[in-house]
Chain A
Amino acid sequence: MKITRKEFLRLTGLSLLAGGAMQVVRAIGQGGTAARAAASQPVRLGMVIDLSKCREKDGCNECIHACNTTHNIPQIANRAHEVKWIWTEPFGTVFPSAQTGYAEQSYTKVQVPLMCNHCAEPPCTRVCPTRATWKRDDGIVMMDWHRCIGCRYCIAACPYGSRSFNWQDPRPAIASINPDFPTRTKGIVEKCNFCEERLARGMKPACVEACPQGVFTFGNLADPESEPRDLLRSRFALQREPELGTGPSVYYLM
């Protein structure tokens, strides 16, 4: 069989078109099922932190310790190069606008546990030039450590200082490596992941489990029957800088 040039071009064009159409149909099909699944049971994972319980045990660092050992977080002496997923700061620093100036010193100096807020509208994912950080359907703001180019635009965009950069090779600064979780390399950004690796195995986040006071309540904020929603219904809660429109998923009970 002899094919003329014109016929060859026509066939090539048609097969390209068919291939393209199939891709489109497949994409529409997948998009549809994903959207349906999300619509049936919305999930927005969040955390409620009860500061009144936390205050009862001053100087306790169990949550931080648990997170550090679970996630192979390096302990770097130079403060400028620290990597932190969960840490504490005084109440007055964390909520400067919630200050009357007349409160008792002991109250403004309460240490507040800080972590990534897993925002509903995260500014960090918006600015990432490689989509190395993104928001999952369940609300967790994730990082792909293999894709991150280390431009640190997300650090500039985060209003909470929740992101850390690896200014040096972190591995020598890890006391004992947890083989169940990856270590990171120099030159990339990292932050709290709400223990997504533990959630996938049906466990609670490490900080929640480690706290002797039951300060942390973790659950689905989209479910009105969930534990965190139960707490938020009846008690006055604060979010960090909600006026920026980021919609933090971490709440603080007074």
Chain B
Amino acid sequence: MFMMEKALKGSRRYWIWLSCVTCFIAVGLCFYLRQLDQGLGITGLSRDVSWGLYIAQFTFFVGVAASAVMLVLPYYLHDDMHFARITILGEFLAIAAVVMCILFIFVDLGQPARVLNIIRYPSPRSLMFWDMISLGGYLLLNVIIAFATLRAEREETRPPQWMKALALISIPWAISIHTVTAFLYSGLAGRSFWLTAILAPRFLASAFSSGPALLILLCLALRRLARYDAGEEAIRKLAVIMTYAMAINVFFVLVEVFTVFYAAIPEHAVHFEYLYLLGGAHTLAPWMWISALCAIAALAILLTPAWRSRWLPLGCVLVFGSLWLEKGLGLIVGGFEPSPLGEVTPYVPTLPEWSIVAGIWAVGVFLITMFFKITVSVRKEAEG
């Protein structure tokens, strides 16, 4: 069913690329084995900052996974045929992203051998239980939809009827995965940084810009490296979606900033001060400013008619980079700094931590490479 044979035939370049990616996975695995042996103390985490890069990256990639809905929605619900060649790429990206999310959670666990306790003692009062259900379901939906589509194309038949029903179910499901992920944080009374109703909408807005940004870059790479065209019009429409989602995201952040600083409740303001005031133990502040500058530059490029198509790749890189810093690092660490007792413990991810993160990224890259290889092979055969 998975058409793995298509991923086993490739050029020299394809195999060299996969070997390089595998090296990163191996290095990450070595550091993970060390973490398993010595404990999570080999990360930069501490009693006060008890979640960091792993959980932040998890959050960011749930967004990337959810963003597939921005292709599924126009293609399956509005029958926009421009998305015919690109939608499956988005679904495969979602599969790789969910796998990465599961790995990020797994490496964050202190006792990974006991992970099945989540299923043995299900706790519907915990949002983590619902996150498991929503992510697992979303993974399953996308695996079935993507491979069933591809199979139908290979056999040159129409996709089965139930496929469309599944695709339609996956639309609200995609919204749910990121909403539940936001609720993980925004339901905690003691963490005023996350205790805001805008968190879930903000998560969705940043998801619908960072995901498409990555997908556009991947499509441009496919065009150059594999001579597979996902469709000029599809990329153009996706760029519009990305641009306005980014604008909405920036708006949501500014709305939050207004509420926090005009109301001026110290408990709420301290977290923003930690993230954006330069100097002292505020190790993240320079990165947060880089993120803000990237966001401004991205919007300037993507909204200016003369620049937006010529500089599209740069715009995508800036959107992705900006949100990766904001959501993939600052958003989680900012909730813990300062601690409930007002202390700031500097958090700097360590080399083992970065290596494990890079290893998980490499797993994602490996999966994407294989999925896209299968897709391109099947489609080229069908066409020619």
Question: Chain B contact residues (Cβ within 8 angstroms of A): what range?
Answer: 35 or more
Instruction: Scan B75-113; emit 1 where CB is below 8 A from any A CB, else 0.
Output: 000000000000000000000000000000100111110
CB distance from A2 to the nearest CB of B (A): 42
**Contact B342–A130 (Cβ < 8 Å):** no
Q: Does B13 contact A (CB under 8 A)?
A: no
**Contact B50–A129 (Cβ < 8 Å):** no
**Contact A127–B127 (Cβ < 8 Å):** yes
**Contact B50–A169 (Cβ < 8 Å):** no
Instruction: Scan B18-61; emit 1 where CB is below 8 A from any A CB, else 0.
Output: 00000000000000000000111100011110110000000000
Among the stretches B148-156, B187-195, B200-208, B289-297, the one at the interface with A is: B187-195
Q: Does B162 contact A (CB under 8 A)?
A: no
Known contacts A130-B117, A161-B340, A168-B38, A150 near B111 by CB under 8 Å: yes
Q: Of B39, B108, B112, which one neighbours A167 at CB under 8 angstroms?
A: B39
CB-CB under 8 A from B185, the residues of chain A are 156
**Contact A164–B342 (Cβ < 8 Å):** no
Q: Does B128 contact A (CB under 8 A)?
A: yes
Query: How many A-B pairs fall under 8 Å by CB?
Result: 138
A166 to B190, CA, bound (A): 22
A77 to B189, CA, bound (A): 31
A167 to B184, CA, bound (A): 23
A48 to B2, CA, bound (A): 64
Q: In the complex, what residue of chain B is closest to A170 when comparing beta carbons?
A: B39
Main DSSP-derived SS at the B contact region: loop
Known contacts A129-B128, A130-B121, A245 near B189 by CB under 8 Å: yes
**Contact A157–B47 (Cβ < 8 Å):** no
Q: In the complex, what residue of chain B is closest to A146 when comparing beta carbons?
A: B114
Q: Of A131, A161, A187, which one neighbours B341 at CB under 8 angstroms?
A: A161
CB distance from B217 to the nearest CB of A (A): 33
Instruction: Scan B200-223; emit 1 where CB is below 8 A from any A CB, else 0.
Output: 000000000000000000000000
**Contact A127–B39 (Cβ < 8 Å):** no
Q: In the complex, what residue of chain B is closest to A158 when comparing beta carbons?
A: B190
Known contacts A93-B341, A127-B128, A187-B110, A167 near B40 by CB under 8 Å: yes
Instruction: Scan A168-197; emit 1 where CB is below 8 A from any B CB, else 0.
Output: 110000000000000001111100000000
Instruction: Scan A140-160; emit 1 where CB is below 8 A from any B CB, else 0.
Output: 000000011111110111111
Known contacts A131-B121, A157-B188, A160-B340, A168 near B110 by CB under 8 Å: no
A81 to B47, CA, bound (A): 6
CB distance from B71 to the nearest CB of A (A): 32
Q: Of B38, B46, B114, B266, which one neighbours A149 at CB under 8 angstroms?
A: B114
Q: Does B123 contact A (CB under 8 A)?
A: yes
Given A150-B114, A151-B110, A246-B189, 10 further pairs, Cβ under 8 A: A79-B345, A127-B128, A130-B118, A148-B114, A150-B109, A151-B105, A151-B108, A158-B340, A161-B340, A165-B47
> Which residues of B come within 8 Å of A, CB atoms?
38-41, 45-48, 50-51, 105, 108-112, 114-115, 117-118, 120-121, 123, 125-129, 132, 184-185, 187-191, 266, 335-336, 339-342, 345
29 contacts between A and B (CB under 8 A): A80-B46, A80-B48, A93-B342, A96-B342, A127-B126, A127-B128, A129-B118, A129-B129, A130-B117, A130-B123, A149-B110, A149-B115, A149-B117, A150-B40, A150-B109, A151-B128, A153-B126, A156-B188, A165-B40, A167-B39, A167-B40, A167-B45, A167-B46, A168-B41, A185-B111, A186-B38, A187-B110, A188-B111, A241-B190
